Amino acid sequence: MILKKIAVVLCITASIACNKKETKEKQIQKMDTNILLTEWNTPFGAPPFDKIKSEDYLPAFNIALEKHIEEIKTIIENKEAPNFKNTIQALETSGFYLNRLTNVFYAVNAANTNDTLKTVDKELAPRLASHWDDVVLNPQLFERVKAVYNQKEKLNLTEEGLRLLNKKHKWFVRSGANLKGIPADRLREINAKLASLSQKFGQNLLDETNTFEFHTTDKNDLGNLPTSLAALSEEEAITRGHNNGWSFTLQRPSINPFLQSSPNRKARKQLFDGYALRGNNGNEADNKIIIQKLTSLRVEKANLLGHNTHAEYVLSDAMAKEPKAVFDFMDKLWPFALEMAKKERKALADNMKSEGISETFSGSDWRYYVEKVRKERYAYDEEATRPYFEFTAVRQGVFALAEKLFGLTFTELNNVPKWHKDQQAFEVLEADGTHLGLIYMDFFARESKRGGAWMNSLINQSNINGMIHPIVTNNFNYPAPTKNGPSLLSFSEAETLFHEFGHALHGLFSKVKYQSLSGTNVPRDFVEFPSQVMENWMSEPEVLKLFAKHYQTGKVIPDEMIKKMKDANSFNSGFTTIEYMAAAYLDMKWHTLKDTELRDVNSFEKEAMKNLGLIEEILPRYRSTYFSHIFSGGYSSGYYSYLWSEVLDADAFQAFKETGNIFDSETAKRFRHMLSKGGSKPGMDLYVEFRGQEPKIDPLLKKKGFQ
Ligand SMILES: [Zn+2]
- Per-residue pLDDT tens for 123-151? 998 899 889 989 999 999 999 999 999 99
- In sequence order, the β-bridge partners of residue 435 are 429
Q: How far apart are CA 89 and CA 514, in angstroms?
A: 9
Residues taking part in catalysis? 500
Percentage of the chain exceeding pLDDT 90 = 82
| pLDDT at residue number 452 | 84
CA of 638 to the centre of ligand 1 (A): 15
- What letter would DSSP give residue 284? T
What would the pLDDT profile of 475-532 be if each residue is shown by its tens digit? 999 988 888 889 999 888 999 999 999 999 999 999 999 999 999 999 999 999 999 9
What would the pLDDT profile of 601-651 be if each residue is shown by its tens digit? 999 999 999 999 999 999 999 999 999 999 998 899 999 999 999 999 999
Pair 288, 601: CB distance under 8 Å: yes
What would the pLDDT profile of 343-352 be if each residue is shown by its tens digit? 999 999 999 9
Mean per-residue pLDDT over the chain, rounded: 92
- What letter would DSSP give residue 419? S
Helices (H), 407-521: 491-508
Is residue 27 scored above 70 in pLDDT?
A: no
Q: How far apart are CA 650 and CA 36, in angstroms?
A: 42
Percentage of the chain exceeding pLDDT 70 = 95
- In sequence order, the β-bridge partners of residue 390 are 488
Residues 6+ apart with CB under 8 A from 138: 72, 76
Is residue 13 scored above 70 in pLDDT?
A: no
Q: Which has the minimum average pLDDT: 18-32, 621-635, 648-662?
A: 18-32
CA of 110 to the centre of ligand 1 (A): 16
CA of 182 to the centre of ligand 1 (A): 41
CA of 598 to the centre of ligand 1 (A): 36
What would the pLDDT profile of 438-491 be if each residue is shown by its tens digit? 999 999 988 899 888 999 999 999 999 899 999 999 999 998 888 888 999 988
Q: How would you write 662-674 as a 3-class SS string?
A: CCCHHHHHHHHHH
| pLDDT at residue number 29 | 54
CA of 474 to the centre of ligand 1 (A): 11
CA of 529 to the centre of ligand 1 (A): 8
CA of 292 to the centre of ligand 1 (A): 32
Is residue 211 scored above 50 in pLDDT?
A: yes
CA of 451 to the centre of ligand 1 (A): 14
Secondary structure of residue 110 in the 3-state scheme: helix
| pLDDT at residue number 31 | 62
Q: Between vectors from CA 327 to CA 321 and to CA 332, what angle results, nearest 5°?
A: 120
pTM of the model: 0.89
| pLDDT at residue number 28 | 52
| pLDDT at residue number 21 | 41
Q: Where are the beta strands (DSSP E) in 219-315?
A: 246-248
Q: How far apart are CA 300 and CA 305, in angstroms?
A: 9
**With bands split at pLDDT 50, 70 and 90, how would you rate the model's confidence at 423?**
very high
Secondary structure of residue 448 in the 3-state scheme: coil
Q: How far apart are CA 700 and CA 507, in angstroms?
A: 26
Q: Which has the minimum average pLDDT: 210-224, 472-486, 586-600?
A: 472-486
CA distances from 627 to 279, 482, 633, 636, 692 (A): 10, 40, 9, 10, 37
| pLDDT at residue number 490 | 87
What would the pLDDT profile of 47-105 be if each residue is shown by its tens digit? 999 999 999 999 999 999 999 999 999 999 999 999 999 999 999 999 999 999 999 99
Is residue 113 scored above 90 in pLDDT?
A: yes
